[in-house]
Structure formats: C-alpha cells, structure tokens
A and B are shown apart, each in its own frame.
Chain A
Amino acid sequence: MTNIMKDMKKLLLEMTVIIFVASLIGIILNHKMLLKVCSGRFDLSKITSPGVQRMEKIPMPVGLLQAKELFERKEAVFVDARDASFFSRGHLKGAVLMPLGESELNLARFMVKVPSSATLVIYCNGYDCRDSMTLGAKLMEKGYRKVYVYEGGYPEWRDAGLPIEREAP
C-alpha cells in the first residue's frame, strides 16, 4: 500500500514538474501577447490570423434568462430565422422576420433599419434548429459585432409564458 502511495506521489510530482516547466516556457515566450491581453491593449481587429477571425465571427449562444433580460431591457433586436409560416403562427413580441433562405434579399433592408452597433438576438425553432447560428454568422460577416443566438428558440420562450405575438388569421 505504501509502495502504491509512494508511486502515486512520485507520478504526481513528475507531472507537476512537466506542467510547471511547460508553463514557464510558454509564459516567457508569449509574455508580450499575455501582457497586451492583461492591459487590454490587445486589438483583435488588427490581427488577421484565421483563428481570431473565426473567434470574431461566431455568435455567442445565450440561454432563456439572458434572452429575457435583453428583451426586458429593450436592448436588443430579436430576429426570427424561421419561415414566414412559422412566424405568423407565433413569434417573440417585436421580433423581425428574416428567414434564413431569404436572408440575402432581406439583409440590405435590415441593414438600413438596424445599425451595426445594435445588439441582435437570433432564434429559430429550438435546440435542434441550426438556422439561427447560420444567420448569426452571416450577420456578423456583414459587420454586426454583438450577435447572440438564443438557442431555446420560440418553443422555449412560448412555454416559459413570455410575451409572444401571433398574426391574425
């Protein structure tokens, strides 16, 4: 038993030394980048590496609580990525219709109405629906920086009893 404990201690010590040495080398060699990040002087827009571009062009997923908070504070424009038929049967109150399939046609009109500094929350038909993420990425490519995707979508919002609108039949 003591032998096993001894072996484990030795193993943990060796692992710690390896990680410590690696951390030391990594921090020393990348100290300029880390210092810039710490001081907030890291301007991502000036960096053209694909990783950063990708990081900037992925909409941030938000949950029901965050979406509700943005809705109540009236800080965001809600965008419905579903088809018009789904939209007319019910949508988040005040949401703008922009079906992913027709987004190219509607984007120009949308961009005239909504400035690129606006916060956008995009949703579709819940967790299985990927249209909101695709539309979000498209809007980010067009210059919108604060784009969120509400993954629970219309079904979760409706089931939570939050404000919705239906178009008259």
Chain B
Amino acid sequence: MERRRSPYRERSAMMRNRKRYFRILVRIVLGLVFIYASIHKIRDPVAFAGAVAAYNILPYGLNFLVAAILPWVELISGLLLVIGYRVKAAASIVIAMNLFFIVALSSTIVRGLDIDCGCFKQGGGKTPAWEVIIRDVIFLVTAIFLVLNKQKPGKRLS
C-alpha cells in the first residue's frame, strides 16, 4: 500500500530543493565573477601592478608580487566555486580577499585618492570607490552565505 506524504513534508522538501538550487546559482555566479575579474589581470600583470601601486599601500616591489599572485588566487577560487569542489575553502578565500579590498578602498576615500579600483578591466573608466565598496560587500555577503549554508553530507547537487 502506498504511503501518502503529508503536504507539509512535500512543501518542506520543495523548499529544501529551492534552497539547494539557489545555493548552486549563487556559487556559480560568484565563481564566474571572480574568473572574469582574474582574466584581465592575468593578461596584463604590469597594468594591474600599476593599479595596485596607485593605492600607495605597498612598497614598490610588492605591488608586482601581488599583481603576479592575486589574479591566480581569484581564478582558482572562482573555478572551485563553479565546479563545486572545496566550496567552503574557496568562499573563505573570497571573504578574506573582499575584506582586504574593502579596507584598501576605504583607505583611498580617507586619503582622498581618486584612483581606479583595478577590479576588472585595467585602464577602463573610473568607478567611484564607494560604489566598488558596495559591490564588494555584496560579494562578501554572498561568500559568507556559501560558507554558512554548507552542503549536507550525501547531497551532491551543491
């Protein structure tokens, strides 16, 4: 005899599925954003070093080291988020990076520096620092959501 599932159970299963799909969507979108951001920097590391140097935070040589490494951290974290492997670690790195970006951008506002953030295409139009901070806060919240809503064992979707 077939057992009937209660409407409450069906609804909660549906909600769980929706949440799972939402998490997948968020994870992939965040991953793609970071992959896109890294590609321009990888193609022109010297230009990115210039953008980092414009912040006037690091000594001369370190700007180039950051320009050599940071885009690859972004790319690998982005790829891991898209494929759904080691999501918590990749999202935690995204959190750390965004916290650093927010502090650096806030410092440019305090110091009155009118510079391009160097976030995506190098040498493109200047975006006001507070707009970039809002964007980074959105990425930060998204990454925190991914870390806190970890996948349950056995669920393969996310």
Seen from chain A, the residues whose Cβ lies within 8 Å of a Cβ on chain B are 11, 14-15, 18-19, 21-23, 25-27, 29-30, 33-34, 37-38, 42, 47, 49-55, 58, 60-61, 127, 130, 133, 151
A108 vs chain B, min Cβ distance (A): 26
**Nearest CB to that of A149 among chain B residues?**
B112
B122 is contacted by which of A19, A50, A130, A151 (Cβ under 8 Å)?
A: A50
Chain B residues, CB < 8 A from A55 = 49-51, 53-54
A93 vs chain B, min Cβ distance (A): 25
The verdict on B14 contacting chain A, using a C-beta distance below 8 Å, is no
B114/A130 in contact, CB under 8 A: yes
27 examples of A-B residue contacts, CB within 8 angstroms: A11-B92, A15-B89, A18-B80, A18-B90, A18-B93, A21-B76, A22-B72, A25-B72, A25-B76, A26-B68, A26-B73, A27-B65, A27-B69, A30-B64, A33-B49, A37-B60, A42-B64, A50-B122, A50-B123, A51-B123, A52-B47, A52-B49, A61-B112, A130-B112, A130-B114, A151-B111, A151-B112
Given contacts A33-B64, A127-B112, contact A51 B86 (CB under 8 A): no
B88 vs chain A, min Cβ distance (A): 6
Bound state CA distance, A26 and B66, in angstroms?
A: 9
**Nearest CB to that of B150 among chain A residues?**
A7
Bound state CA distance, A69 and B72, in angstroms?
A: 41
Given contacts A26-B68, A33-B64, A34-B65, contact A15 B93 (CB under 8 A): yes
A10 vs chain B, min Cβ distance (A): 9
B46/A54 in contact, CB under 8 A: no
The verdict on B77 contacting chain A, using a C-beta distance below 8 Å, is yes
A61 is contacted by which of B45, B56, B96 (Cβ under 8 Å)?
A: B56
A33/B46 in contact, CB under 8 A: yes
B68/A49 in contact, CB under 8 A: no
**Nearest CB to that of A49 among chain B residues?**
B47
Bound state CA distance, A51 and B72, in angstroms?
A: 19
Q: Give B56-100 interface residues, CB cut-off 8 Å to A.
A: 56, 60-61, 64-65, 67-73, 75-77, 80, 86, 88-90, 92-93, 96
